[in-house]
Structure 1
Amino acid sequence: MTLKRRIFLIFFFSSLAPFLSIFIISYYTIDSIFGNKVESGIKSNLRQVELSLRNSISNLNHISQQLAYRGTLGKQLDEVLRQSEDPFQRMKSREELENELNLITFTNPNIGLTMYYFKKEGTVQFANFPIKENFSPEKLPLLAQYYGIAYYGPHVSMNQFDDQVVLSALRQVELPDRDDVYVYIESGFRLTQDILNNDQYGGALSHLILDGHGRIAYSEVPEVFANGAQFPDFSKGEGAGLYKGYHWFKQTSVQDWSVVSVILQADYNLEKDRWVLQILLVALLFLGVTLLLAWLLWKMVYRPLNLFHKEIKWMSQNKVMTHHRQQTRIIEFDHLLSQFSRMREQIWDLFNEVKEKEKNRVDLEVEKLLYQINPHFLMNTLDTVHWLAVMNGQQEIDRLVQSLNKLLYYNLGKLGQASTIEEEIDALKQYLILQQIRYDFQFDVRIEVDENVLTMPVPRFILQPLVENSLYHGLSDDGYIQVNVILDKDIQISIHDNGSGMSEETIRELLNNRTVEQKKVGMGIGMNYVKRMLEARYEDKAKLEIKSEIGKGTSVLLTLPSIGEENRQ
């Protein structure tokens, strides 16, 4: 049987039986069960909201006491306002006061915007957040006022970066010399909104807040209960009633303000229907059917998906599944697993093919660079032979040709065939002989090689381009080139000259630019060849560095991993 038919039959039987049972039982029990359940739930929620708001207001009162003159910070504010002659002391006192304010707000996460308000100037100081323009407490909805403190809200926060609904309090600081300084405090981020949203009926409940005279200070249903209007049928204490299609339930606080929960009559009845679903004994049977359904779905769906997960995980880790592929006994999943296995094999084949092609591409690029170098060098050398024969006769022709033949024989060797340090040094010496004859100048090239490294295998044609780079970078009459080859775990090759040196920009161009503009003959190609050859032969195990200082010379440092003679290609 296919997965589609199995799921259809299971859902049909598991949904039909609970539905019929719930319908029959609800029909006979709805009148006896519901009674006052919904009403008592709304009242319980109302008491929670009233208690939370009362605690928030009490907390505002407590914090404002600390900021008043009789509290811990009021005297510090008075000192700051009095210190007008000594700027340093005034700045220090202001900083101490700000630190104390930050400490209080940090240790009271239910407190948001806090500041001192100077009523005569209409200014604020020591605010912990930026203030919105045209701040004026007189514009805020007054909730209650007693013991020298006024409570406002709920209203939109005066914090410039916060548009949440908050409660606030304004208390006179009672400074000895000023009676226009007040502390303004708001409740914390989202605190008031979270209190009003404490609704177990899925958002159906709305809230009103009334002052001590029954005036609506805050309304979540302004189209029916407008802000500033008088609440209908107002009286102290608890109450309930129906007004314009809304059920309302009122709870009066000991602080002389009231909270009212209102709900549409349609939603009020809907809550009763939802309540049925939570208390019917049939829910237990429905739970059992749901658990059975979950087990069947796990067996038919999640187990095959788990097999897919294992296959994909092994594939992502570049591992091959060696065990026999399991069967799910579901036609669709078995077909998909089979298709996935074939796809995985094709991907591995393509991966190996791409890897091989990439290797061949690197070899071809290196070979291309090598054949760019040799013809260029050959043309220059043959040109030298020609002019030497014309100008000086044939005395040095034999010596020139012998060195040239040796060097060409070595340089034109098969690409990829390994050489040794000894062969590289010998080829370098032949190259220097040719250059000395060509320029009629005795180069001071000092070569020191550790005997233990002579037979070590290295890529062909890596020393000559590096020495050529030193020659072209300003080897003067009194200059020299020092070539050292030692064995210290790795093969360390250093080529140092005391020429004119190179800039950092030139070094970066030589090392990183594959299309170097050849400002000097062959220099960019040769250095690029060495770098590419090392990458192809050693990957990231070899290192090529150039250190230079203008006017003092250049050092080329080459580090190669040591490979035994038995591993030569």
Structure 2
Amino acid sequence: MTLKKRIIILFLISSLLPFIFVFFISYHTIYSILTNKIQDNLQSNLRQVELSLENAIGNLNSVSEQLAFKGSIGRDLEILLTSDNAYERSQMTTQINAELNLITFTNTNVGLTMYYFQKDGLHQFENTGVKPDFDPNALPLLTEYYGITYYGPHISYDRFNNNYVLSALRKVDLPSRDDVYVYIESNFKLTESLLDNGKNPQHAYYLFLDNNRKITYSEIPDEYPLDSAFTSESPDKSRGLNKEFYWFDETSNQGWSIVSVISNADYNKEMNKWFLQTLVSSMFFLGVSVFMAWLLWKMVYRPLSNFNKEIKLMTSNKTPSVLVQTRIPEFDQLLEQFRDMKTQIWDLFVEVQHKEKRRADLEVEKLLYQINPHFLMNTLDTVHWLAVMNGQGEIDRIITSLNKLLHYNLGKLGQSSTIRDEVDALKQYLILQKVRYDFEFQVDIEVDQSLLDMPIPRFILQPLVENSLYHGFSDNGIIQVRVKAQEMIEISIQDNGSGMTQEAIAKLLHSEQMEREKVGMGIGMNYVKRMLEVYYNGKARIHIASAPGQGTSIYLSLPLSKEDTP
């Protein structure tokens, strides 16, 4: 067993035993306190809901009395039903509608209100649209007394409302007819507010029981279905346990009851919360103990880990990390000596990298010096003056172009040119090629004027144009050279030649021997590719698109300045 594990285990044992003992003693004490608190809270919420529902039912009763025969609207309805005078009936209809709207407007807790004619199955003077399936007999009966019937929560018969409401049906007691009733619903927002206000942190559900203890409304119909009897074997009539649910009963003065039921899991939620808090506290103190253990083992184990980390970094060729001080002189001295050794190794590694890069530069320089015999330029100067003295104008023009071209292309490696100079050198090259080849071809050059003085490596455009001339060119050939400025310098060389296969493209880019056999200057596409890699440190891109019979397009993307390269 490692030293780290031994220290941790020792501190855990010394810390856990006292915590476990205290936890079990406090658990039984707090359990009793929280149980009484939860039960009192649920009973209080239930009582609040019961009182609110009684007030809502009382409000329905008060409004229905105004619409009965003893009220002013009820007497107007009697006149309407018994009068034979059409004008008087029209007046009564208008007056009843106005009075009914006034009552419902001033009683914001009232929803759908109307008169119901039982024998005819009709309703009249409704204050809003009524659903076509209105049937009071289908409503869940809550209680009935003194000529008025109350129904428990049900879907409203308001055509524009599908929420739960309470309702009342009162007989109007008209002298002329005994089948006329007043139907009133509570405002759906009132019913929703009553049930929501009774919600408590334990997520209780509500049941409504009629006078016979029959369920008329249930928020959990799967456990307590409608129209079933609510029974319990608990000796306490106000609370008990049934079907893994705790229930609390509150009976109204009218005889109906509202029952709050809560699952065991929700009932114990607060106790579980206390248990979690206790557990968190215990973990905190346990963490303090572990921290003390850490202070002990870090003096030995952590320095060893730092040594291990340094060794892994060195073996994985990663950049050296910041030296961590252990504040132990002996270990810090060893770590510093190890870091010095590692720094020396990295310096050697960097030196090797520079040598490899220099080797690549020398290889490119070697390619350039393959075409750098200085005596050639001197000889061309001699030929030039001979042509002038002998009146050979065409030869003089050719020699002059060749001399300019060689003077530009034989520039020293590392010296950058400009796009202006590169384009001028390309034009001199084209003069020579038009004399050399026995077929006609056209070269269109278009350069963004803002790029003319932009630095660029020497001898880039000529090998690309030379490639177009060497790969299947014939009469009436066209080469288009475009240099544009976008996010980078975009160079394109497109021809309408015979094109080439993908295998030929790969050889063109990667086979040095193939280019030396075909290109007169001895270097070509492979040189361009390697020069761009060296000059722009891999930031530049080259792409060739071609297919047999479809011409060839070469695209270069160069940074706008060498400083943009990494």
Shorter-chain TM-score above 0.5: no
Rg comparison, structure with higher value:
2
TM-score, length-normalised on structure 1?
0.43
TM-score, length-normalised on structure 2?
0.43
